[in-house]
Each structure stands twice: as C-alpha cells, then as structure tokens.
Structure 1
Amino acid sequence: MTGSSIVSLMSQSLVVFMIWILPPLIASVIVGLTIGIIQAATQIQDESLPLTVKLLVVVAVIGLFAPVLSAPLIELADQIFTEFPAMTLGY
C-alpha cells in the first residue's frame, strides 16, 4: 500500500463525511436561527426549547436522507474492504 492510496482513501472518507454531515447541520443552523429570532422577539428565555427542536429536526433530516446518504458510505466501505487484503499484504 502506498502513501498516495492512503491519502486517496482518507480524501474519499472526508468527502463522504461532509456529505453525511451537511444536511443535518444546515437544518440545525436554520432551525436554531429561526428559534433564536422568535425567542428574541417574544422574550422567551427557555434554553431547552431550541435544543429540543434542533434535536428533533436533526433526527428527522437524518431519517429522511439516510437512504440517499447511505449509498456513498456503502460504496466507500465496500472499496475499503475489497482493498484491505492488498493494503495489509506487506505487513
């Protein structure tokens, strides 16, 4: 296994990580800002409200996008497990 193949796999892993993390992160930011604006406008000082709503939204987004987001993850895992014997051949 060469250094370039390790770097390539790490790069692909980071791309898959970004694909997985962006939809829940964007939804959480949008909901957090919306709840923050509503709380500022109504002067509600409850700290558990935004956390609960963001948690529910993140779980819903992951549940909705899981079938779509799983495809690159499964492909990468298959590639890594297929190449694993060649990676460990020299050790």
Structure 2
Amino acid sequence: MNEADALDMVQAAIWTVLAASGPAVLAAMIVGVTVALLQALTQVQEITLTFVPKILAVLAAVAISAPFIGSQMSIFTNMIFSRVQSGF
C-alpha cells in the first residue's frame, strides 16, 4: 500500500461518515431552527424546549435512513476489505 491508496481510503472514510451522519444532523438542524423561530416569535425562552423535539427528530431520521446508512457502511467496508486483500 502506498500513500495514494491510504489517501483514497481516508477520503472514502470521511465521505462515508458525512453520508451516514447527514440525515441525523440535517433533521436536528431543521428542528432546531424551527423551534428557535417559534421561540423567538412567541418570546418563550425555555432552553429545555428544544431537546425533546430534536431527539425525536434525530431518532426518526436515523430510523428512516437506516437502510441508506447501512448500505454506505457496507460499501465502505467492502472497499476496505478488497484493498487489504489485494495488498497482501
């Protein structure tokens, strides 16, 4: 294995982490902005009000996107195993 192969694997790992965490982070961001907007409009500044909707949204997003996350992880794992097998 040379430096180019190692860089390709690191790049693939970073893209896999971004793709796998993307749905949960996006759901948390959308719910957070929505709740913050509602708090600003109603002037209810309760800090703990944002936690429950965010947790529920993240759990729902992970449950819905679990097949996509699993396929991304499987593709990455197969790529790593094929590189390791061909390297030895």
TM-score, length basis structure 1: 0.84
- Looking at structure 2, the residues matched to 2 and 45 of structure 1 have their Cα atoms a distance apart, in angstroms, of 55
Q: Is the 8 A contact 2:16 2:73 kept in 1?
A: yes
Write the distance in 2 (CA, Å) between the matches of 1:22 and 1:82: 26
Moved segments of 4+, more than 2 Å: 81-87
> CA offsets, 1:45-78, max 9 Å, x none?
2111112211110111011001022112112112
In structure 2, what is the equivalent of residue 47 of structure 1? 47
Whole-Å separation in 1 of the counterparts to 2:22 and 2:72: 14
Kindly report which structure 2 residues correspond to 1:40-79, keeping only aligned pairs within 5 A, or say none: 40-79=40-79
Q: Residues of 2 paired with 1:32 and 1:78: CA distance? A: 36
d(CA) in 1 for partners of 2:83, 2:41:
56
2:27 is aligned to 27
The equivalent of 1:8 in structure 2 is 8
Q: Distance in 1 between matches of 2:86 and 2:68?
A: 30
TM-score (norm 2): 0.86
Structure 1 portions without partners, runs of 5+: none
Amino acid at match of 1:12: A
Number of residue pairs matched by the alignment? 88
Q: Percent identity?
A: 24
